[in-house]
Amino acid sequence: MRLLKVATCSLNQWAMDFDCNAKQIKESIAKAKEAGASIRLGPELEIPGYGCEDHFLELDTVNHSWECLKDLLLGDWTDGILCSFGMPVIKGSERYNCQVFCLNRKIVMIRPKMSLANDGNYRELRWFTAWKQRDQLEDFQLPFEISQALGQKSVPFGYGFMKFQDTAIAAEVCEELFTSNPPHSELALNGVEVIMNASGSHHQLRKLDYRVHALIGATDTRGGVYMYSNQQGCDGSRLYYDGCACVVVNGDVVAQGSQFSLKDVEVVVAQIDLDVVASLRGSLSSFQEQASCKTKVPSVDVPYSLCRPFNLKISLSLPLEIKYHSPEEEIAFGPGCWLWDYLRRSGASGFLLPLSGGADSSSVAAIVGCMCQLVVKEIANGDEQVKADAIRIGNYKDGQYPTDSREFAKRIFYTVFMGSENSSEMTKSRAKVLADEIGSWHLDVSIDVVVSAFLSLFQTLTGKRPQYKVDGGSSVENLSLQNIQARIRMVLAFMLASLLPWVHGKPGFYLVLGSSNVDEGLRGYLTKYDCSSADINPIGSISKQDLRAFLRWAAIHLGYPSLKDIEEAPPTAELEPQRSNYSQLDEVDMGMTYEELSVYGRLRKIFRCGPVSMFQNLCYRWGAKLTPSQVAEKVKYFFKYHSINRHKMTVLTPSYHAESYSPDDNRFDLRQFLYNARWPYQFKKIDELVSELDVKDVKDYAANDTMAATSHGVSGMGVAAAGSGNPKAGF
């Protein structure tokens, strides 16, 4: 037997905080050594942090990364353990995203990334060059100061693997796993038994299953050990890296870390018998045949042994049942952990949320409540870093620290119901009850006097006073009166966030939380610079449907039962007067349902549909209940208002990224914000298709009518009358 103990990590790195990152790298190595591991794998670009973005273009970032690596190598950190560190490296004129393999205070080789992530949230080609040479390793001259310190002038650089005395090991960096021709296939044929994948992969609802299946697929048909490392936490942007470091052996997951955690350092260890890899490969005839005529991959000889012999005192890691969270749990824990990282790293003393008693703001409140529960739980589990952060943020004195989530929420979370004459007692009551359940410091304020002051000022300037539509006003007046209320709430929220800590004798400031969901952003159903304008928004890329499911889950599992009533209430902005014959509802205002918005969003972004292809797709999807003309009107209506309101995305509050059809203008959904909202060419093409379908329907109907009349001796009109009465009903 060749027994190998491996350690892979999830680290909560912070972009450009080299001290913090180096400290956590060292802590992970110490834990790996303590566990007896021979290999330690860290996340992609762990030294500077994955999210440095345009800071990667600065020579300082590269130089500081080398300085941190030198510090690691001059100490005893790599003694007796193979470590993989992620950092940018400049070779010649090109900058590469690299994994640097180190052992016994020396650099063994540098492996540059060959397939760069360059879609969705990723822009690696903006900062790095993909390594393209696959047939040989090149000689890389180390920077002078590094060379002098380590006593090494050069190291192998490129695509290849390391031949140890008892096994062969190679790297596969993040995106390379998901390519159509991943390196692990070729490396396995060359005898590589252990693949180390350093990743910087963000959370997205329902995404983990796809990732884990890719890890399993890398070894189930060809054998091997696959180590996966990932960042975990918010490193300074909209993304939350969701950890889940794991080890897979011959298609079985034998070790899995947490997906969501407040821990800064998590090390996952597995004990493996490498002979099971050799045994499986030897039993696969097709593998043997392909290996006999393989393309040779360059290698580096390392005169060192990593494995241990057979020992009954050492127990092997066995296959595990893979842990997946439900989407509702993901909404609770992902944004909850992201909020905690943002709070503790921003220097703020807490959060302030305008709480309307509706589904969206209540979802945000519940997520903050979940965050407080996670903090108290982690402190109880002995996490000293979480405890220190909580004491500082909560302004605890005399050795006290959080032991109750509601008490902690009272210290760091303000909720404010900003009602008007249009607000109902029901939503006011719901907001108060939920705030009590969570434990927030709740305020109830009427904005009517401020609204009245604005209207009086306008009347003084113009001699006119706008009226709501239900009182005889125009659409322009009606919309303006709603916007006044919404924008006053934004201004008041920021004022309270700045001054309430001072009023209560607390240090610092509060971060204002937004609560618009992804569907409202897609439709533009929000007032520019209203309460959706905040510091950060934990639900900005989560759909209304998912949020409603989350509310039902949270009512039970987070212990906030009032969320059940909030979820069941029809969504309403409460910005217009309520009458016996009129009640404002979101879906009526938008002219479409939230369910329809989710469909439009996925077709537009995920399936890359413009107006014409969306119309064609929806004719198939909705053809059983809508005519082509009705589908066309819905598609045109959506694209009209999506394009009219696209400019609002340019000032959208930074939101936790959770959904693949987010309209976030920052870098995920790159489109113009000034459109011809009439879409003349595209809408004309849709009209032509509708006309063609109408003619075809009539002809098909006539043919069917003639056949029916011939068979049954009745007229065509009679058949139509006896049927649906609509020749398009079955389209």
Which residues belong to the active site?
Answer: 44, 113, 174, 356
Helices within 347-447 (DSSP H only) = 359-380, 384-394, 405-412, 425-438
- Asked if residues 120 and 142 have their Cβ atoms less than 8 Å apart, the reply is no
Beta-carbon contacts of 452 under 8 Å, excluding residues fewer than 6 positions away, are: none
Q: Please, what is the angle between helix 359-380 and helix 544-557, to 10°?
A: 50
3-state helix, strand, coil in the chain (%, to 5): 45, 15, 40
Helices within 569-723 (DSSP H only) = 586-590, 594-601, 611-622, 628-644, 680-712, 716-722
* CA–CA dist 700, 609 (Å, integer): 29
- Asked if residues 265 and 42 have their Cβ atoms less than 8 Å apart, the reply is no
Question: How far is the CA of 386 from the CAs of 232, 341, 345, 555, in angstroms?
Answer: 15, 10, 12, 26
* CA–CA dist 649, 516 (Å, integer): 12
- Asked if residues 577 and 470 have their Cβ atoms less than 8 Å apart, the reply is yes
**How many CA atoms does the CB half-sphere of 638 hold within 13 Å?**
29
Per-residue tokens: 481? 């009166």
Beta-carbon contacts of 135 under 8 Å, excluding residues fewer than 6 positions away, are: 298
Secondary structure (DSSP) of 47-98: TT-GGGGGGGGSHHHHHHHHHHHHHHHHTTTTTTSEEEEEEEEEETTEEEEE
Q: Which of 537, 441, 423 is nearest to 432 (CA)?
A: 441
